[in-house]
Every structure is written in C-alpha cells, then in structure tokens.
Amino acid sequence: MFLLIKKVIYIFIFLFFTLIFNYNCKRNKQEISKISDYKEFNIQAAKESCSKVRKCFGYIYRTFPENILKKLTIEECENSALLNIDKKIETHTSNIQLLARTCYVHILNSNCKDLPLVIITDPNCNLLRAEIGKLNIEKYVK
C-alpha cells in the first residue's frame, strides 16, 4: 500500500513539472501572436529575434574576440533593429501585416536546428519578402 502511494505521488510530481514546462513553452509562443498592436508586435519580434540569434548562434559568438564581443550586446541588436521603426512600418498594408505576423511567429517558434531552413523556405516569409520587395520597387518608381 505504502509503495503504491509513493508511486502515485511520484507520478503526480512528474505530471506537475511536465505541465509547468509545457505551459512555459506555450506561453512564449502565445505571447507574441497575441499582441494586437502591429508596432508593438514588431518591437517584440525584433527583441525576440535578437535573443534567438544569440541563443542559436552562441557557438559562433563565443569565438569572437573579446573587444568585438563586448559591443555585441542584445540591447545593441534591439536598438539597431528598431531604429526608425515608425518609418519602416508605415507603408505596410494589411496583407503585409498578416504575412509578417505568421512569418515571424514561425521563425521565432522554430528550433535552432531548423532556424536557417525556416527563414529560407517558410512560404509566408517568402510571400512577405515578395510583398516588401514590391513596396520598395513602387517607392523607387515613384
């Protein structure tokens, strides 16, 4: 009887931690897609992209000389990515916004091993690139 109770307790502990782990994983995935404001969404996506690059390419970062590495903070990456953000997103059509949301969430939810592949092959990202390319050409023609 005692052994049975012990087993049940262990199973509960295991399930508890599994749920917490699962919740944490899902929470990250949900947070960014739940942001309704497009600008805020872009800010968050840029921030998470910086952290993701740092995490996924940490094996390259660690080989950089100390003086260069000191400059490569996540804050520097975020500031650089968000420079003139208002200007950059003002021309984004609703179609671009929709594609951007799907593309970024896919990229940010991919694991490090698949990241380069997702960036290149994700259909939403490719459509997004095409749309943004059109915008740039239109600007150039005008």
Partner 1 sequence: MNIYIIIIITYILKFIYSLNVGLLPDEAYYWEWSRHLDFSYYDQGPGVALYIKLFTLIFGDTQLALRTASNVASLVTTIFVFKISDILEFSKIQKIYLFLFIIFIPAFFAGGFLVMHDSPFLLSWSGALYFTVKYLKDRKNFLLYPLFLFLGLGALSKHTMVFYVFSLVIWILLSPKEFSIFKNFHFYFGILITFFIISPVLYWNLNHNWDNIDAIANLRSAGSINVKKFNTGSMIIGQIFSISPLFYLLIIFIFIRYFFTEISRTSFIHYLKSILYIEDTKSIILKFLLINSIILPLFFLVMSIFRVIQANWLYASYLPIALLLIFHLNFKNYENKLFLEGLMIALILDLFSVFSIPISKTLNLSIDPYYILGTRNLGFQEIADEVSQIQKEKYPDSKIITNRYQDAAILSWYLPEKPFINSVNILQKNQYNYWYDMEYGKDYILVYIQEKTCAKSFIFFQPILVKTFEKIEQFPEKDIYVDGYLVKRMQIWYLKNYQKNWAEDISNLLQHQMVQEEMVVGLKKKKETRKFKRDKMDQFSGIGLIKGYLERSGEMECSFLLKK
By the criterion CB under 8 A, which residues form the site for partner 1?
A: 42, 45-46, 49-50, 52-53, 57, 59-66, 68, 72, 76-77, 80-83, 85, 88-89, 92, 96, 100, 103-104, 107-108, 119, 125, 128-129, 132-133, 136, 139-140
Q: How many other C-beta atoms lie within 10 A of the C-beta of residue 25?
A: 11
Residue 30 to residue 7: CA distance in whole angstroms: 34
Give the residue with the Cβ less far from partner 1, 19 or 74: 74
Give the residue with the Cβ less far from partner 1, 22 or 80: 80
Report in angstroms how near the CB of residue 13 gets to partner 1 at its nearest. 22
What's 24-83 look like in SS3? HHHHHHHHHHHCCCHHHHHHHHHHHHHHHHHHHCHHHHCCCCHHHHHHCCHHHHHHHHCC
Report in angstroms how near the CB of residue 12 gets to partner 1 at its nearest. 27
Report in angstroms how near the CB of residue 54 gets to partner 1 at its nearest. 8
Q: In the block, which residue shows the tokens 């949301």?
A: 101
Report in angstroms how near the CB of residue 71 gets to partner 1 at its nearest. 8
Give the residue with the Cβ less far from partner 1, 14 or 57: 57
Tokens of 54: 């740092």
In the chain, the N- to C-terminal Cα span, in Å, equals: 81
